[in-house]
Structure 1
Amino acid sequence: MELRHLRSFVITAEELHVGRAAARLHLTQPSLSRQIAALEGDVGVPLFTRVRRRFGLTPAGEIFLTAAREIVRHADEAARDARRAHRGELGTLRLRFVQSATFEALPRLLVAFRTAHPDVTLDLETMTTLGQVAALRDGHIDVGLLRPPISEPALTTRVISRDPLVAALPAEHPLAKRRRLPLAALADEPFVLYTRAYGPSVQDAIIGHCMAAGFSPRIVQEAAGVQTIVSLVAAGLGVSLLIAPTPPTTERAVVYRPISDDLPPWELALAWSTDHHAPVLSRFLAVAAQA
C-alpha cells in the first residue's frame, strides 16, 4: 500500500469526480484510475461505487477514508518536521555551562534562543570547564559555556564576555566600608576559594594574583559552587575572590567590592566541536552572535 495511492484516494473521495481529483493531483485521469484500482487491490474490497460514471464511497470506503486521512496527515507532519529539523528549527540542544555563567550570560542567550526557536528542546546542566571539554570531545554535548584557556585543538571557542575578579566580604567586615580594594588588603584574611576539582586553573590563577600582590592566601575552606562560597562568606568563615557576575545577595549578608589591582579579566566563551555540524547548533551559534 503506497502513500501516493492513499493521497489520491483521499482527494478522489473529497471530489467524488475523477476529472477534478486528477486535476488537483496533477495526474491524468487514466493514471488516477490505475492508482485507485491498485489501492482497492491492496485493501481487497471496493472503495468506490461506480454507477453511470458517477463516483460514490462504499461503506468500506467511508471507513477507510477516516484512517487514510490520518495516515496522510501524519506523513505530511513527519515530512514537515524532518524539514524543520534539517533547518535546525526542531531537535534538542545539549548545552552545559559553568555556574558563573548563570547570573548574566546564560539567561541572555537562552531568552534570545527560545524567542527565535521555541520548538527546540533544551537539555541544560551545570558542568565544569574540564567536564565540558571532555563531553564536547566525546560528542556527548553540542555546545559549552566555559572559562578558557582550554587545550583541545578539536574545539572552537568564541569569547562572549570578559569578566573581572571581585572580592566577596561578610557585610560586617571592616573592609566592606571601602568602595575598592587592593589585593594586598586581604593578605591577613582567611579565604574561601573554588575547589581545585572545580577547575585547577581558577584556583591557581587566584593564588598567583595574590602572590603577585605579596602574599599567599590562607585557604580555610574550599567549595565547588559559587553560591556555596557566598554562603560561607556570609557565615563569616572568610573572604573570597569571585569571578563576576556574582550571585545576587543582600548587602546585609555579603558585599562585593572591585579589585583595584590591574588584573587580567576572565574570559567566558562558547565552545563546540569543529566536526559537529548539527543544524540546531548552527542556529544557536547564529542567535548567540546576535545576542
Structure 2
Amino acid sequence: MELRQLRSFVVVAEEMNVGRAAARLHLTQPSLSRQIAALEHDLGVELFARVKRRFVLTAAGSVFLADARELLRRADDAVLNAQRTQRGELGTLRLRFVQSATFEALPRLLGAFREAYPEVVLDLEAMTTLHQIEALRDGRIDVGLLRLPTAEPGLNSRLVTEDPLVVALPAKHRLAKRRRISLAELAEDDFVLYSEASGPSVYGRIVGYCRDAGFVPRIVQEGVDVQTIVSLVAAGLGVSLLIAPTPPIDPASVVYCKLSDDLPTWSLSVAWSPDNSSPVLERFLQLG
C-alpha cells in the first residue's frame, strides 16, 4: 500500500466518478483504475461497487476512507514537521545562563526568540560559566549566556553587553546616600560575596580589585546566587559587589551605588560550539 494509492482512493471516494477523480489527480482513467485495483488487491477487500449504475463505497470502503484520510493527514504533518524542523521552527533549544544575565539580556533575547519561533521548546537553566563551557564542548547544551574572560578555544562567541561592577549597600549604611564611592572606602566593611565554588572567576576578580585598592575584603557570608546575596545585604550582614544589571530591590532595604574606581567592565557573551549544526541554534543566533 502506497501513499499515492491512498490519495487516489480518497479522491475517487469524494468524486464517486473515475473520470472526475482522474482529472483532479492529473492521471489517465486507466492509470487511476489500476491504482485502485492494486490497492484493493493489497487490502484483500473491495472498496467500491456498482449499484444501479452508480459508483458507491462498500462497507469496507467506508471504514477505510476515514482511516485513509487520517493516515494522509499524519503523513502530511510528518512532512511539514520535518521541513519546519529543518528550518529551525520546531525542536528544542538548550540554553544555559549566568544569573547576572537574568535581569536584562536573557528576557530580551528569549522574548524575541519566543515571538519569532513560538513552537520551539526552551530548555533553560542557570549555570556557571565554567560549567557552561564544559557542557558546550560536550554537546550537552546548544548555547550559553556567560562571562568569558578571554576567547575560549574551540568555541565561538559573540559579545552581548559590557556591564560594570556596582556596590550593594544596606539602606542605612553610612555611604548609602552617595552617588559614587570608591572601593577603598569599603575597606573596613564586612562583605557578602559569591562563594568561590559557585563563581570562581567572579570571586577571584572581585577580591583582586579589593587588593588593588589596598585591602583584603573581610568576607563574612557567601551566597550561591545574586538574590541571596542581596537579601543578606538587606539584612545588614555586609556590603557586596555585583555585576550590573542588578535585581530589583526595595530602596528602603538596599541601595546600589556606582564605583568611582576605573575598573574593567564584565563581558556578557553568547557562546556555542561550531560543531553544533542545530537549525534551532542557527535561528537563535540570527536573532541575537
- Partner of 1:90, secondary structure, is coil
Residue 191 of structure 1 pairs with residue 191 of structure 2: yes
Paired residues for 1:50-69 under 5 Å: 50=50, 54-69=54-69
Instruction: Tell me, in whole angstroms, the C-alpha distance in 2 between the residues paired with 1:188 and 1:151.
Output: 36
- Partner of 1:251, secondary structure, is coil
Instruction: Tell me, in whole angstroms, the C-alpha distance in 2 between the residues paired with 1:171 and 1:262.
Output: 25
Q: Determine the structure 1 residue equivalent to 2:159.
A: 159
- Partner of 2:22, secondary structure, is helix
- Partner of 2:144, secondary structure, is strand
The letter of the residue matching 2:3 is L
Paired residues for 1:244-283 under 5 Å: 244-283=244-283
Q: Determine the structure 2 residue equivalent to 1:134.
A: 134
Residue 109 of structure 1 pairs with residue 114 of structure 2: no
Deviations 1:27-50 (A, max 9, x none): 222221111111101111100113
What's the % identity of the aligned pairs?
Answer: 69
- Structure 1 spans left out of the alignment, 5+ residues: none
Q: Determine the structure 2 residue equivalent to 1:228.
A: 228
- Structure 2 spans left out of the alignment, 5+ residues: none
Between 146-155 and 90-99, report the one with greater CA deviation: 146-155
Query: CA contact under 8 A between 1:97 and 1:127: conserved in structure 2?
Result: yes
Tell me how far 1:11 sits from its aligned partner. Answer: 1.1
Q: Determine the structure 1 residue equivalent to 2:200.
A: 200
Instruction: Tell me, in whole angstroms, the C-alpha distance in 1 between the residues paired with 2:68 and 2:273.
Output: 44
Between 254-263 and 152-161, report the one with greater CA deviation: 152-161
The number of equivalent residue pairs is 288
The letter of the residue matching 1:186 is L
Instruction: Tell me, in whole angstroms, the C-alpha distance in 1 between the residues paired with 2:112 and 2:217.
Output: 40
Q: Determine the structure 2 residue equivalent to 1:45.
A: 45
Residue 33 of structure 1 pairs with residue 33 of structure 2: yes
The letter of the residue matching 1:166 is V
Residue 118 of structure 1 pairs with residue 122 of structure 2: no
Provide the TM-score with structure 2 as the length reference: 0.97
Between 93-102 and 19-28, report the one with greater CA deviation: 19-28
Q: Determine the structure 1 residue equivalent to 2:19.
A: 19
Q: Determine the structure 1 residue equivalent to 2:217.
A: 217
- Partner of 2:249, secondary structure, is coil
Which of structure 1's runs of 4+ aligned residues deviate more than 3 A?
50-54
Tell me how far 1:152 sits from its aligned partner. Answer: 3.7
Tell me how far 1:200 sits from its aligned partner. Answer: 1.2
Instruction: Tell me, in whole angstroms, the C-alpha distance in 2 between the residues paired with 1:138 and 1:151.
Output: 18
Q: Determine the structure 2 residue equivalent to 1:97.
A: 97
The letter of the residue matching 1:77 is D
Provide the TM-score with structure 1 as the length reference: 0.96
Q: What's the C-alpha RMSD, in Å, of the aligned pairs?
A: 1.3
The letter of the residue matching 2:221 is Q
Instruction: Tell me, in whole angstroms, the C-alpha distance in 2 between the residues paired with 1:36 and 1:53.
Output: 18
Relative to structure 1, the CA distance from residue 53 to residue 155 in structure 2 (aligned partners, 3 Å threshold; closer, same or farther) is farther
Query: CA contact under 8 A between 1:154 and 1:275: conserved in structure 2?
Result: no
The letter of the residue matching 1:63 is V
Relative to structure 1, the CA distance from residue 31 to residue 53 in structure 2 (aligned partners, 3 Å threshold; closer, same or farther) is farther
Deviations 1:163-190 (A, max 9, x none): 0000000010011011111111111111
- Partner of 1:96, secondary structure, is strand
- Partner of 1:222, secondary structure, is strand
Instruction: Tell me, in whole angstroms, the C-alpha distance in 1 between the residues paired with 2:172 and 2:15.
Output: 83
Q: Determine the structure 2 residue equivalent to 1:8.
A: 8
The letter of the residue matching 2:38 is A
The letter of the residue matching 2:75 is A
Instruction: Tell me, in whole angstroms, the C-alpha distance in 2 between the residues paired with 1:62 and 1:155.
Output: 59
Query: CA contact under 8 A between 1:168 and 1:256: conserved in structure 2?
Result: yes
Instruction: Tell me, in whole angstroms, the C-alpha distance in 2 between the residues paired with 1:230 and 1:150.
Output: 28
The letter of the residue matching 1:44 is G
- Partner of 2:176, secondary structure, is helix
Instruction: Tell me, in whole angstroms, the C-alpha distance in 1 between the residues paired with 2:53 and 2:9.
Output: 17
Relative to structure 1, the CA distance from residue 15 to residue 224 in structure 2 (aligned partners, 3 Å threshold; closer, same or farther) is same
Q: Determine the structure 1 residue equivalent to 2:79.
A: 79
Tell me how far 1:8 sits from its aligned partner. Answer: 1.1
